[in-house]
Chain A
């Protein structure tokens, strides 16, 4: 038997082709050519049906394409071939998360953690799955595991803060969010959680301040709505109206925003405070040198709770 010239040096003539096909599939996937990637991946699977890397890639392609059931099937197939693949378990779990199958997602992380007990991704994602299931204490235990290994993990601090907020431990939540924002000052999720915390504590000044910061990174109708209600609390009807209008522009069906806008308009007829350059309005701190020099200090004292 005579082998083709390019493969004569190899024991298995298909290895070269398999490697080239996989490389082409990966390249196409990296360039966003999902169709091309799937085509090459199909060839790879035909060449070697028990090739876990090809099935993993297939899972990623399907997931990116929005075909979540297909992704779940592909990841499951990859795991049948190689049950110890971290990428496989993480892929399967995230696909399950996308379709809201949180319990199965948690099981996938448990399986992965049996193989890789120090997987940061698995611990933090397991915590998120438990959070989604409402098991906040167990979620916190997962985040603590992550923080034990990586104390500088901003996302773990933020997630722990969010879970503590759900459990009603406002002080603990504030501490965790402080840590998260200290480690990553531009961390949107931590800012958004801070907004929710201050809103819960009815500290309108801080709510507006952190909502403003979060909105610089990403707009969300709920954030505009929360900012609007905080402005109402500070008796700033014009700013409240603007916030509700923006919330309605992003989500025209929001009944809360519409009701807020009505309230703001009513307030506007009687009261409208102008804060000027003081973005900290409503956050008065007695003894602070900045507050001592403030021109609207008397008004700030009235609205700061």
Chain B
């Protein structure tokens, strides 16, 4: 089973990289970009075939290592 994990900064946490990207887009002439937030994307190949078990394992991985829950949220997709 393949797991796709998206890690994003929590609302209210400043994202200087997102701001820099927004600035660069503006200087390339892309107007109307109101906000940019940069995050991470992680793919896992899991031996587990049970969706609920896999989700629970990955949730634990996110809580313990993949995300810093003080500043980040995570979102898990299984396929």
Check if A and B associate.
no
What is the interface of chain B, defined by CB distance below 8 A to chain A? none
